[in-house]
A and B are shown apart, each in its own frame.
Chain A
Amino acid sequence: MLSIIYALLFYAATILLVVGVGARIRKYATTPAPLKIPTTPAPITTQGVVWRMIREVLFFESLFKSNKWIWLFGWMFHMALWLIIIRHLRYTIPGNTPWLLDFLQPFGKYAGFAMILGLAGLWARRFLVDRVRYISSPSDHLILVLLIAIGLSGLSMTFVAKTDIVAVKAFMSGLWTFQINTLPASPLVFLHLGLVITLMIIFPISKLLHAPGLFFSPSRNQADNPREQRHIAPWAAELEK
């Protein structure tokens, strides 16, 4: 019974995530930027902009310039999260997985600790630094709590109370073909998956939108070429008629 409820929740959460984030991306992409506002010095070419964006996404370049502690904790958390997501593909893809995923598996396993450490550091700042304490809302704390709880419940199943991962894989990979297999009767599994479902649902209605949003930030994604190329928003062009 619980397995059916969880399966339905996964479908619902996936729809909300994909449709919600998709709608948001569409809004960002279709809203015009009326003026050229790259933060300079900025790349002069589109190619340069792509490289600037890669540096922001992979290395958090601006954050590194700003604050080494936030960078250290934030970068550690995000990079660990990537490894962890990659590692979890193995539990959602039906059948055997490509060798690359298998190779990355052990890295993802220990990345869980880095993720918790990074999140703990970020959370500590919300208490210890008066400026960050001042700007923190309950939701800022709760999102960190949610991510930490996902990490801890996951790590527990790997290192403390091992779960029947084969059964979990059967459940998750079955969802692709609308087969609802039974989840192992472990509270940790239900907790972990329930928290992940929550994360998926709140993604499009929270600050987690920073992930797609960064790519649409005019101060970062515009090339510095206003004199060479005339830039004009459709609504602004109307003023010229």
Chain B
Amino acid sequence: MADGDTQVPKMDDPLQVPCIKPGSMDGLQPFLASPEHQEALGFPGELVPDWKERTLAKMDEMAKKNRAFQVYLDICVKCGACTDKCHYFLGTADPKNMPVARQDLLRSVYRRYFTFAGKYFPWLVGARDLTEDVLKEWYSYYHQCSECRRCSVFCPYGIDTAEITMAARDILAEVGMGQKYSNEILGKVHTVGNNLGLNPKALGATLEDLEEDIEDETGVSVRIPLDEKGADILLVTPSADFFAEPHIDGLIGYAKVFHQAGVSWTVSSYASEAANFGLFIGNYENMRLVSQRIRKAAKDLGVKRIIFGECGHAWRVAYSFLNTLAGPWDFLDPNYPVPQHILDFTWKEIQKGTLTLDKSKNDHMTLTYHDSCNVARASRIGDYAGSQFEIPRNVIKAVCNNFVDMDQDTIHESTLCCGGGGGLLTDDLMDLRVKGAAPRMTAVQQVTESHGVSHMAAICAICKTQFSKVMPKYGYDMDSIVSVHQLVSNAIILDGQETDDAE
């Protein structure tokens, strides 16, 4: 759907609940993966003739291999607690975007073929036959979920729709209905090493250009090393940090912090991607393969520590899964967490006093902070629960004078997704992305009105790209979204840097 067709939802309140409009997002779907992109990941090129048997066999396998799948399909009581928690439901009013209804698209089939009640009394328990239309419905609505876990916070049993979405996408890919966006990108990571398909030579040239930019701006030579053997720290960051705005300003921020901290570090061209789209498509093997690249890079370069740049779902895979998928990390320095978040590193340096910061450099902005969904609800940054909320804010407050939080019900664990996460950051889903961003944008508009907020900071590559695209639709400039390390970069005064005051 083209950009122009989208009606930007008008909300009085970020969490305003609409009356349901059945069918309002019917038929919306991202492009199917081509046979080439499917086969590169080990999936069949197109819908297989025995899709029904293979779908049911896969469901049976998942119920045996993944407790979450089995338990979550069994225990939902349809209480309704989650029905108003999904930003896509709030933005589209399509009842199939209510978490429980989204789960039921698959649960109804599970019941029909795997439970006593559904086998003998399907009409009683809402069980239904598996048909090709059902697969198409799955493809549509399981690509209207960003796997943000907001529903799981509010479910009395912690049922996480993201788990069901991932399972459904995995099933779909295995019968030949993979998603173009995610699968094409995963193919690039497996062959080149990053989502953009940036080869080592191009990456090296990009980083050199950046070094020059920093030197032009500050008069100080700050390095962004690539493939440097024997460096202490391997930085793994989303490849958008090498290319896109405002991501790249964040990368400059990391480089300045490392420079001032006096540590040796390097980027790897082999593992030049923090994001792991294996998570989005719910495929353990693909997720594992991408993670293994980081292990190999760390060994080949002989680093002692691994630090991840600003990224949301990437940090989930890094923090929560990397030890499982690519561990154990016993060859790294045990004095540091594996992996460590860049904000944890920067916050510790700020506390140590190694950074000279001039907050006034950010005085032209009044900032708010968007908790990225997968950092907030699927990981941690520091050494205590909830540090994923405090550390980014601590850093922002250390480098900015003007900071305001949004409505309490839309931040921290209740944060609203940007609308583009979980494999939906593709132009063929722009209509959904704009509508799904409505709750978050309404919360931003509130603090703009009450406190004059001009910019929003985020620590996720997807959030940054999504907001730079959708914020203009809500009356903001596209550069109203900033990286947290961009703020750090603005405020930091490097040793030997020529400052305005000195002139």
Contacts and interface: CB of A to CB of B under 8 A. Distances in A.
A217 B321 contact: no
A6 B156 CA distance: 36
B122 to A, nearest CB: 10
Contact of B160 (A67, A139, A219): A219
A138 interface: yes
A37 interface: yes
Interface in B42-84: 63-68, 70-72, 74-84
Contacts of A206: 117, 125
Interface stretch (A100-108, A155-163, A227-235): A227-235
Interface stretch (B296-304, B376-384, B488-496): B376-384
B126 A139 contact: yes
Contacts of A74: 79, 156
Interface string B135-158: 000000000000001001111111
Interface in B101-125: 101, 104, 115-117, 123-125
5 contacts: A131-B83, A136-B78, A205-B117, A218-B71, A233-B65
A64 to B, nearest CB: 9
B158 A40 contact: no
A33 B321 CA distance: 12
Interface in A155-203: none
Contacts of B407: none
B205 interface: no
A125 B376 CA distance: 31
Interface string B296-331: 000000000000000000000001110110011000
A217 B153 CA distance: 12
B263 interface: no
B126 A34 contact: no
Nearest to A136: B78
Contact of B288 (A131, A139, A235, A239): A239
Given A33-B68, A220-B158, A239-B285, A41 B386 contact: yes
A39 B125 CA distance: 29
Contact of A134 (B101, B160, B388): B101
Given A70-B80, A129-B80, A130-B20, 18 more contacts: A28-B70, A32-B66, A35-B324, A37-B160, A39-B158, A56-B156, A63-B81, A66-B82, A130-B19, A137-B124, A205-B117, A213-B157, A216-B71, A218-B158, A219-B152, A227-B319, A227-B337, A236-B288
Contact of A34 (B66, B104, B328, B386): B66
Provide the main secondary structure of the chain A interface. Answer: helix
B98 interface: yes
A216 B67 contact: yes
A28 B71 contact: yes
Contact of B75 (A130, A209, A232, A236): A209
- Kindly list the 6 A-B residue pairs having the minimum CB-CB distance in the complex, ordered from nearest: A213-B75, A66-B154, A137-B126, A219-B158, A132-B80, A41-B385
Interface string A14-36: 00000000001001100111111
Contact of A139 (B17, B101, B124): B124
B287 to A, nearest CB: 9
B284 A135 contact: no
B115 to A, nearest CB: 7
B376 A40 contact: yes
Given A35-B320, A224-B380, A41 B158 contact: no
A62 B437 CA distance: 25
B288 A60 contact: no
Contacts of A134: 20, 22, 95, 98, 101
A235 B61 CA distance: 12
B338 interface: yes
B85 interface: yes
**Most chain A C-beta atoms within 10 Å of own C-beta, residue among B67, B76, B98, B159:** B67
Nearest to B340: A227
A74 to B, nearest CB: 7
A191 to B, nearest CB: 22
A206 B378 CA distance: 30
A142 interface: yes
Interface in A108-142: 122, 125, 129-132, 134-140, 142
A66 B124 contact: no
Contact of B78 (A27, A66, A207, A217): A207
A31 B157 contact: no
A214 interface: yes
A40 B76 contact: no
Given A37-B163, A40-B379, A205-B116, A210 B76 contact: yes
Contacts of B116: 205
B324 A36 contact: yes
Nearest to A216: B71
B235 interface: no
Contacts of A207: 74-78
A231 B82 CA distance: 29
B221 to A, nearest CB: 34
A69 B40 CA distance: 50
A43 B327 CA distance: 22
Contacts of B288: 236, 239
Contacts of B156: 56, 60, 62-63, 66, 74, 214
B328 A41 contact: no
Given A28-B67, A36-B324, A136-B78, A131 B20 contact: yes
